[in-house]
Structure 1
Amino acid sequence: MAYDLKKEEEVKEFITKLGIEYRFGCYSEKKADVCHLLGDYLEAVKKDESKARKVYQTNCEDRDFGRSCHKSGTYAFRAADPNGALTFFEKACGLGVAESCLNAGLIHVNSKAKETVREKGLDLLKKGCDGNNHHSCFYLSGIHLHEKNMPEARQFSERACSLGNMYACANLSQMYRKGDGGEKSEEKADLYKARALELQDEVKKQQGVTFQEGIKPV
């Protein structure tokens, strides 16, 4: 059946059927990806974060679904439970969720949980960077900048910039202009400055969030 999503009654029917399909796929067919969608549905559409959290946690613990582990970590962190968040984020990182590597790494580096190890935090951030998470690369560049390790700072800035981090591009421009961490090049400095401004313009042009974007994994 095709729905006219401009009509309120048909929108309500569509949303109701969507929930039924997700529940069947999760509870009857035991599909991990559908269980995660059910969590998204409960969170974004039904506004029931308590039920959504339970679905995510069960899907993480019973089915090892990385995105659900990441969501569980996010809920735990919001509930002021950094140790619980760290457990979920580290599991999600091991399952290939780069954003979780970032979060776990920052918890370790910033010592927000007990028995944190800085080197482990750096390793987790490196995994996030290797997984194309530009924030992880940028934080690593910042750490190396603070420690005056300019070659490493430049390396991670280049990686972050290539992944679309405008701040890394701006920092990289300054590094090339001053010759920090390697060659000095006005040409490359101007090139990375232009890239930073281009990314800044792209951010300004982004407007709103679509319905689909609101319920997909974050």
Structure 2
Amino acid sequence: MKRLFLVVVAFVNLTFAEDVKLENLQSISYDYLMERILDGNEKFSCDNFMNILKECEQKSANSCYKIGFLHLKGSCVEQNKEYALEYFRYACKLGNVNSCLLSGWLFEYYKKDLDLALEYYKISCDINYIFCNDLAFFYKHKKKDEKNAMYYFDKACSVGNLTACGNLAFILEKKSGVSEYSIALNQKACNGGIKHSCHNLARNFEKNNKINIAMKIYKENCNNGFYASCHNLGVALAKQNLNMDAKVFYKKACDGGIMSSCNNLGYIANNKKDALNYFKKACDGGDKNGCENLNKIYNKEK
């Protein structure tokens, strides 16, 4: 059955998906901030709300920040982003850098006021260079100002924001290709646990024909739950005609939402039924190759 299906595959010229390259920068400070504060307030009791409010009225920047955060999350009080912004702006004025960042975020995504968003992102960056990543991200995507984006990614990277190091490497490679410096930036970020950068580092080595090093990094990143790396490892194995090994990693990536892996599972399937199921899953998930392959098989049957 496998042999018969492979003959059909060759005859109808199905499409195989190549490696996944990441086309996005990361702005993680807000999400990280949310997780960190939630963890820090696991023991927070709503009974303390009025005490914290009084401390805020006495110009405690951290207490005003907490009140703003509770309004933003809808914890202890009804969710109200207007109140959250009011408290964040006040706490920022008192010197709380997290509040400056969140003020910028609310102006960007909630109020749609890019000028004020930029103002608060700049304040947070000036207070702590770690937050310059968010300012750089804003310059890149909202202002389309790559020069300032690179400047602030570099600033954030220089004080240990590893996401910013990966973002700087990404822009440099888009502009000038892979270099020793961009590889070093990806390596630094990857060593610090930035999975996007580990994936890009593996692609760097793959482009330089250091496939064994690339595959090792892909595998480690895949085992850490970064499914795009599972897909790329599958592609590398398939190119070595190790389809059974490739199938394991395609399956992991497909189950993790990488639709191009679902397509490739269809491509190397043992039988037509499995192939159709995987192509359909890929197509339903928005993968163009999956849809094309599905149509090719259906048209062949007519």
Taking the TM superposition and a 5 Å limit, the aligned residue runs for 1:70-89 are 70-78=101-109, 79-89=111-121
Tell me whether 142-151 or 68-77 shows the greater mean CA deviation.
142-151
Equivalent residues of 1:23, 1:35 under 8 A apart = yes
Aligned twin of 2:259: none
Note the alpha carbon deviations across 1:125-175, whole angstroms, 9 max, x for none.
Answer: 112223433432222121111113422321221122122222221221122
- What's the CA shift for 1:40? 1.1
Which has the higher Rg, Structure 1 or Structure 2? 2
Q: Provide structure 2 residue ranges, at least 5 long, that are not aligned to the other structure.
A: 1-44, 228-251, 253-302
TM-score of the two chains, using structure 2 as the length reference: 0.54
The CA distance in 2 between the partners of 1:153 and 1:86, in whole Å, is 27
Equivalent residues of 1:170, 1:193 under 8 A apart = yes
Equivalent residues of 1:165, 1:199 under 8 A apart = no
| AA aligned opposite 2:92 | C
Taking the TM superposition and a 5 Å limit, the aligned residue runs for 1:15-30 are 15=46, 17-28=47-58, 30=59
The CA distance in 1 between the partners of 2:211 and 2:145, in whole Å, is 39
Residue of 60, 75, 85 corresponding to 1:53:
85
Aligned twin of 1:137: 165
The alignment status of 1:171 with 2:200, answered yes or no, reads yes
Taking the TM superposition and a 5 Å limit, the aligned residue runs for 1:123-134 are 123-134=151-162
Instruction: Show structure 1 runs of 4+ deviating over 6 A.
Output: none
Taking the TM superposition and a 5 Å limit, the aligned residue runs for 1:95-134 are 95-96=127-128, 98=130, 100-110=131-141, 112-113=142-143, 117-134=145-162
Aligned twin of 1:6: none
Over the aligned positions, Cα root-mean-square deviation in angstroms equals: 2.4
Tell me: CA distance 1:141–1:66, structure 2 relative to 1, closer, same or farther (3 Å): same
Q: Percent identity?
A: 18
Equivalent residues of 2:88, 2:99 under 8 A apart = yes
| AA aligned opposite 2:80 | D
| AA aligned opposite 1:84 | L
Tell me: CA distance 1:201–1:168, structure 2 relative to 1, closer, same or farther (3 Å): closer
| AA aligned opposite 1:40 | F
The alignment status of 1:195 with 2:220, answered yes or no, reads yes
Tell me: CA distance 1:195–1:131, structure 2 relative to 1, closer, same or farther (3 Å): farther
| AA aligned opposite 1:102 | N
Aligned twin of 2:27: none
TM-score of the two chains, using structure 1 as the length reference: 0.72
Equivalent residues of 2:64, 2:90 under 8 A apart = no
Taking the TM superposition and a 5 Å limit, the aligned residue runs for 1:148-163 are 148-151=176-179, 152-163=181-192
Equivalent residues of 2:104, 2:116 under 8 A apart = yes
Tell me: CA distance 1:143–1:178, structure 2 relative to 1, closer, same or farther (3 Å): same
- What's the CA shift for 1:193? 1.4
Determine helix, strand or coil for the equivalent of 1:147. Answer: helix
Q: How many aligned positions are there?
A: 179
